[in-house]
Structure 1
């Protein structure tokens, strides 16, 4: 384990301006937001800030009645905090690795648990996977983000992106699926025989099926979710 003097420790661990824009990776598990206006963040992820910054919990009807109803249905999976002002805000989520994606009139779906922050310029909506409702109570909803601006997502360990083509569909464990391109609409595929053999539902017996042209982001970790019997 490295040993430092106080001066060496400060030099090695001090904050550094990287000039990357509004969102910067201060560390691979720490996001720095160079705030001059407003951003939306996952509630409970602020670990420090500098400057004149105000944090406001998302209003009940701030994003309209439709989103309010969806948020009420999905529970605490998407709880947002609005950060406003001028300064620097540092975000982290349970030590998960952070990736910054710059949307340029693109769209992407992100699992509700894995969205860390996004710029005010990004349009977003909650999308419910009704086919999933009878299968699992976790990972039921995701967020569609589109427009121009930065978003930050989190993964347990390093993410892996798989290309989906017309000749190569991709099947993933719902609990390990982080994000996918906005043009894809996954179906749910179940393997009843394998489920029966194993005696319980799992990623092997319940999969998300991606077909068409696009990409899927997975992580080497299964988010905790409760699975119900669908037989």
Structure 2
């Protein structure tokens, strides 16, 4: 759970409010714009949003998942799986883009939200994630990679060699991995759930605070 100390407005995942104190107003925004709405319909990726404004404390959660805060300073963007976006400051902007290097693959997990600008964003993970500093070739399961520095060069690598085993339906279960090159970081969660066709309104949960991850990820609980 994350607490947002509001004295203005914040963008949050639709349905993620679990409690609030003070005078707050809620406005449904859909995907946050007609362009992103169309992209969400075509790609299965996006963030159903609500705008919350006023003065008070807002508590947000999504299915009792862990919550982590990331501060963007404008020097680099952050690419995030839309299902892992919980809330962000309105100073940030985002778009839905195909993962670089994915080519013509139609997997919904290969479209993600790219956030740019200066501000704070809250992301969710299933379990305590690892933050991998990319200073050498790095690889992750497409459904386990939660977020990464947008400046990283990405690609899609096939791991299963084609042969008799493939024809018989045998597989390592790791057919494709995302590759990352350059300088930055990748956040990987302890889950490889398949992507959903579209991100719907999220549920709510209650999760006690945990220690921060250090580096680019800040404290679990915080306010603006």
Aligned to 1:81: 50
* Alignment partner of 1:93 is 2:93: no
Q: Secondary structure at the match of 1:93?
A: coil
* TM-score normalised by structure 2 residue count: 0.76
Structure 1: segments with no counterpart, 5+ residues: 1-29, 227-231
Number of equivalenced pairs:
193
Contact 1:186 1:208 in 2 (8 A): yes
Contact 1:172 1:203 in 2 (8 A): no
| Cα RMSD for the two superposed structures | 2.6
**For each residue in 1:39-85, what CA deviation from the matched residue of structure 2 results, as whole angstroms up to 9, or x when unmatched?**
1111111111111111111057x53x432321222347421111111
Q: Which of 75, 79, 90 does residue 109 from structure 1 map onto?
A: 79
Structure 1's 76 and 174: CA in aligned 2 closer, same or farther, altered over 3 A?
A: closer
Greater RCO (CA < 8 Å, at least 6 residues apart): 2
Aligned to 1:52: 23
Structure 1's 217 and 54: CA in aligned 2 closer, same or farther, altered over 3 A?
A: same
Name the CA distance, whole Å, in 2 between partners of 1:202 and 1:84.
Answer: 48
Structure 1's 174 and 50: CA in aligned 2 closer, same or farther, altered over 3 A?
A: same
Contact 1:173 1:203 in 2 (8 A): no
Contact 1:174 1:203 in 2 (8 A): no
**For each residue in 1:87-112, what CA deviation from the matched residue of structure 2 results, as whole angstroms up to 9, or x when unmatched?**
11110011110111111123211111
Name the CA distance, whole Å, in 1 between partners of 2:172 and 2:121.
Answer: 30
Name the CA distance, whole Å, in 2 between partners of 1:132 and 1:53.
Answer: 44
Aligned to 1:173: 141
Name the CA distance, whole Å, in 2 between partners of 1:181 and 1:38.
Answer: 26
Structure 1's 201 and 44: CA in aligned 2 closer, same or farther, altered over 3 A?
A: farther
Report the Cα offset of residue 140 of structure 1.
3.2
* TM-score normalised by structure 1 residue count: 0.74
* Alignment partner of 1:69 is 2:45: no
Structure 1's 197 and 206: CA in aligned 2 closer, same or farther, altered over 3 A?
A: farther
Q: Which of 120, 124, 130 does residue 160 from structure 1 map onto?
A: 130
Q: List structure 1 segments (4+ residues) > 3 angstroms apart after TM superposition.
A: 74-77, 132-135, 200-203
